[in-house]
Chains A and B, each alone.
Chain A
């Protein structure tokens, strides 16, 4: 197991956001966490990357217990995250953003920089543009590219399709598969369950801070309960791209 979380509990003040989630991610997999708003998906990711602290349970990564490790140190052991809402540094240029991704590394990042530009040619075109002035899709690409700069063993993605036009969503998911093919393990949090289940190997369904189901992704795609709850039920199978009403200014 590359990443294993065991019975974690996380609180915001007195409110329990996560009530005992256990999950694991194997080397080379794409694993997705799906669920509605408030299910605890984002909190789970934040806890893995160290932005939130545990009140109970443990996180093991690469054979080490990292439960008490500070967030910035987890980057060094190999956990990379593209945060929810992208978290691009708005005043820095695209290139400066990418180089920030390599902040924790002491060696020369030019190889990863070239790789990021190869993966996202759009970013290469906009090298000198300020991160904050880019469209939503470009910012998402930048956030993913930046996370890859640290050469993570596992890449945590928090709703990469959020607010993007359907075509861009497709593109982002294709790139995620490509990143995985190149050897990076991916833990993906998504509300766009249809898309996520199509590219993932395994999936966990979260509901109000608990895992209610875990199975290979293909099985969940056919699961009637999951279909009813997250995939638009049996009303129509064309529910593939539920992001049709994304605001136009967020398009590519």
Chain B
């Protein structure tokens, strides 16, 4: 642990620093923390309405001009990534555990849906609950033996777990190996009612918007759930584990149990994303669950501002949208995308929209991803080691 403020690596030259200060979100944060209840509810309501209007063609023309279908980009890419980022944020952002195999839980959700719907004829909603339970359970199974590890070591094990799930699916004839599962049913149509030319509860092949609305509902539920957890004893326990795991244990926090809970909850949210994905695509195969998905979601969480819910949603949405938006640049887009990420980490390492607490942790150079588990004595410690002799 560093005794002195270890900010050298973060501070650019003076001019850049000033530019960065202008981008500070502190005024916004202060305004929000003092805003009265009705104002907050009005903002929430506006955000939900904004979310509902998002698939609109007018927005689509700017967001997806090159002829690709904006509603399907929203539901296949952006909304799924936002939901997964919310789940991964519980693990990485809140509990400070680096998980590089998050796609595994997404896969468990998707495959549970696929197997139970095609082989046992379960309905979408039944499979949904089962898939969430299975994904949560797989989080526990992965966590129980591995959460004794910390930082980089945990990251390596989770990376392995992601590969194990994918390889298992790839080599198991029960789920047709690399060909995957076909003929997964769409969710049953709940109602044919039509509003503004959309049938939001009719799930079919042609219109992606109902899936987007379904994901929006999942996202809202996940936000409420995670936000409530964050403000509870559980959230405080996670914050303490993220900032200093040993100290947390010394405060009487059952660190192992809470880390396990973070894994299970994150996994369950990821699983729910997998279910919607499977039922919209109607077929899934192991190639849908590459490591790249884990990496992109993690990048979204970190880019947006790990630990801050609006931040990670923004990060994931930007990350899902950018490569699609600039499809015209063909192969160069990944190069530009990578350069943009590097620049971000140089000039705004705490993310686009970090939480205040998280920013303070990073300034200190400890806490979760700040130090990535490598505990090196700070300058203060080496000095004192000498003076006691």
Cα A86 to Cα B3 with chains together (Å): 9
Instruction: Give the residues in chain A near B360, CB-CB below 8 Å.
Output: 90-91, 130, 132-133
Chain B, residue nearest A34 (CB)? B388
Asked whether, in the complex, the Cβ of A250 is within 8 Å of the Cβ of B3, the reply is yes
Q: A86-B3, A130-B360 are in contact. Are A245 and B387 (CB under 8 A)?
A: yes
Does B342 touch A at the CB level, under 8 Å?
A: no
Instruction: Give the residues in chain A near B35, CB-CB below 8 Å.
Output: none
Interface string of A38-79 (1 = CB under 8 A from B): 000000000001110000000000000000001111011000
Asked whether, in the complex, the Cβ of A72 is within 8 Å of the Cβ of B385, the reply is no
Chain B, residue nearest A132 (CB)? B364
Does B243 touch A at the CB level, under 8 Å?
A: yes
Does B363 touch A at the CB level, under 8 Å?
A: yes
Does A246 touch B at the CB level, under 8 Å?
A: yes
Chain B, residue nearest A249 (CB)? B4
Interface string of B40-65 (1 = CB under 8 A from A): 00000000000000000000000000
Across the interface, A89 reaches (CB within 8 A) one of B4, B240, B380, B388, namely B240
Does B367 touch A at the CB level, under 8 Å?
A: yes
Asked whether, in the complex, the Cβ of B387 is within 8 Å of the Cβ of A37, the reply is no
Asked whether, in the complex, the Cβ of B363 is within 8 Å of the Cβ of A75, the reply is no
Does B5 touch A at the CB level, under 8 Å?
A: yes
Chain A, residue nearest B250 (CB)? A81
Cα A191 to Cα B1 with chains together (Å): 19
Q: A90-B361, A246-B384, A247-B379 are in contact. Are A72 and B254 (CB under 8 A)?
A: yes
Q: For this complex, into which size category does the number of interface residues on chain A fall?
A: 35 or more
Interface string of B101-112 (1 = CB under 8 A from A): 000000000000
Across the interface, B383 reaches (CB within 8 A) one of A36, A193, A247, namely A247
CB contacts under 8 Å to B, within A150-176, are 150, 159, 162-163
Instruction: Give the residues in chain B near A146, CB-CB below 8 Å.
Output: 251
CB distance from B81 to the nearest CB of A (A): 26
Instruction: Give the residues in chain B near A132, CB-CB below 8 Å.
Output: 5, 360-361, 363-364, 366
Chain A, residue nearest B247 (CB)? A87
Cα A36 to Cα B387 with chains together (Å): 11
Instruction: Give the residues in chain B near A81, CB-CB below 8 Å.
Output: 250
Instruction: Give the residues in chain A near B3, CB-CB below 8 Å.
Output: 85-86, 136, 139, 163, 250
Across the interface, B237 reaches (CB within 8 A) one of A83, A103, A244, namely A103
Cα A51 to Cα B249 with chains together (Å): 8
CB contacts under 8 Å to A, within B232-271, are 233, 236-237, 239-240, 243-244, 246-255
Asked whether, in the complex, the Cβ of B384 is within 8 Å of the Cβ of A163, the reply is yes
Does A228 touch B at the CB level, under 8 Å?
A: no
Across the interface, A92 reaches (CB within 8 A) one of B1, B239, B246, B366, namely B239
Does A192 touch B at the CB level, under 8 Å?
A: yes
Chain B, residue nearest A36 (CB)? B389
Asked whether, in the complex, the Cβ of B367 is within 8 Å of the Cβ of A250, the reply is no
Q: A87-B247, A91-B367, A150-B252 are in contact. Are A192 and B388 (CB under 8 A)?
A: yes
Cα A250 to Cα B244 with chains together (Å): 21
Does B358 touch A at the CB level, under 8 Å?
A: yes
Cα A162 to Cα B251 with chains together (Å): 21
Q: For this complex, into which size category does the number of interface residues on chain B fall?
A: 35 or more
Cα A91 to Cα B236 with chains together (Å): 12
Does B24 touch A at the CB level, under 8 Å?
A: no
Does A104 touch B at the CB level, under 8 Å?
A: yes
Cα A76 to Cα B253 with chains together (Å): 10
Asked whether, in the complex, the Cβ of B243 is within 8 Å of the Cβ of A85, the reply is no
Does A145 touch B at the CB level, under 8 Å?
A: no
Does B172 touch A at the CB level, under 8 Å?
A: no
Does B176 touch A at the CB level, under 8 Å?
A: no
Instruction: Give the residues in chain B near A50, CB-CB below 8 Å.
Output: 249
Cα A80 to Cα B239 with chains together (Å): 20
CB distance from B207 to the nearest CB of A (A): 45
Interface string of B350-389 (1 = CB under 8 A from A): 0000000111110110110000000000011101110111
Asked whether, in the complex, the Cβ of A100 is within 8 Å of the Cβ of B388, the reply is no
Instruction: Give the residues in chain B near A243, CB-CB below 8 Å.
Output: 384, 387
Asked whether, in the complex, the Cβ of A72 is within 8 Å of the Cβ of B363, the reply is no
CB distance from B289 to the nearest CB of A (A): 34
Asked whether, in the complex, the Cβ of A71 is within 8 Å of the Cβ of B387, the reply is no
CB distance from A231 to the nearest CB of B (A): 11
Asked whether, in the complex, the Cβ of B4 is within 8 Å of the Cβ of A250, the reply is yes
Does A28 touch B at the CB level, under 8 Å?
A: no
Asked whether, in the complex, the Cβ of A51 is within 8 Å of the Cβ of B358, the reply is no
Identify which of A36, A89, A130, A242 gathers the most chain B CB atoms within 10 Å of its CB: A89
Chain B, residue nearest A76 (CB)? B252
Cα A36 to Cα B236 with chains together (Å): 37
CB distance from A126 to the nearest CB of B (A): 13
Q: A136-B3, A162-B381 are in contact. Are A89 and B244 (CB under 8 A)?
A: yes
Instruction: Give the residues in chain A near B236, CB-CB below 8 Å.
Output: 100, 103
Instruction: Give the residues in chain A near B383, CB-CB below 8 Å.
Output: 163, 245-247
Chain A, residue nearest B233 (CB)? A103
Asked whether, in the complex, the Cβ of A91 is within 8 Å of the Cβ of B250, the reply is no
Does A209 touch B at the CB level, under 8 Å?
A: no
Q: A85-B3, A91-B239, A250-B3 are in contact. Are A162 and B367 (CB under 8 A)?
A: no
Cα A163 to Cα B255 with chains together (Å): 29
Identify which of B3, B237, B251, B367 gathers the most chain A CB atoms within 10 Å of its CB: B251
**A–B pairs, 20, beta carbons within 8 Å:** A37-B388, A72-B251, A81-B250, A90-B243, A90-B364, A92-B357, A103-B237, A103-B240, A103-B251, A103-B252, A105-B252, A132-B360, A133-B363, A133-B364, A159-B384, A163-B384, A191-B384, A242-B388, A245-B383, A247-B379
The residues of B with any CB-CB pair to A shorter than 8 Å are: 1, 3-5, 233, 236-237, 239-240, 243-244, 246-255, 357-361, 363-364, 366-367, 379-381, 383-385, 387-389
6 closest A-B pairs by CB:
A191-B388, A104-B252, A132-B364, A75-B252, A87-B247, A90-B364
